[in-house]
Amino acid sequence: MKKRLFLKQFFKQKKMVGAVAPSSRFLAHKMLNHLPLSTVEVIVELGPGNGVFTRRIIKEMGENTQLIVIELNDLFYEELSTSIQDPRVHFFHDSANKIGEFIQQIGKDKANIIISSLPLANFPEDLKTDLLDSIHKSLDDKGTFVQFQYSLQSKKAIKKRFEKTKITYTPFNLPPAFVYSCMKTAIS
């Protein structure tokens, strides 16, 4: 998808599309390089946009790994679900807070890895709370949650659910981004 179309979606649906441009390869590197994509059973991607992370995940995931992709934006969903034809990939055109339902629909109990590009800072507080609780609940006990944001506004909400959180910075992205890498722990 061209950058112009991405920008158009940003102005059209600012609450759903949190960036003016697709994620850079530098951000993809920070988000994905430390993850054992080839050895896990279930990966979930929330808000894939134009699929920068999706395509890399597919290249690196194991032959028995299942990828659940959840996208609410009509244009992004249509683009990805028609351009990617891989039996390991399951597309859902719905809200990310239904993550647990979608994991069960493919016959699994929990996700090993959840990768999110959702613009949490744009969400109302109750939606953000519900989403983060759903993510935490949907991860297995040794699961990893990776989220990028353009600010540290959601840091407190994320750290409340994921005490083991490492934050790194990626200046080579438009705009520059913070990457939260979180290990599952009990909700306080």
Which amino acid makes up residue 128? K
Q: Where are the alpha helices (DSSP H) in 23-176?
A: 25-32, 52-60, 74-83, 99-105, 125-138, 155-161
Output the tens digit of pLDDT for each of the chain's 188 residues.
444 544 444 445 444 444 445 788 899 999 999 999 999 999 999 999 889 999 999 999 999 999 999 999 999 999 999 999 999 999 999 999 999 999 999 999 999 999 999 999 999 999 999 999 999 999 999 999 999 999 999 999 999 999 899 999 999 988 899 999 999 865 54
Single pTM value for the model: 0.88
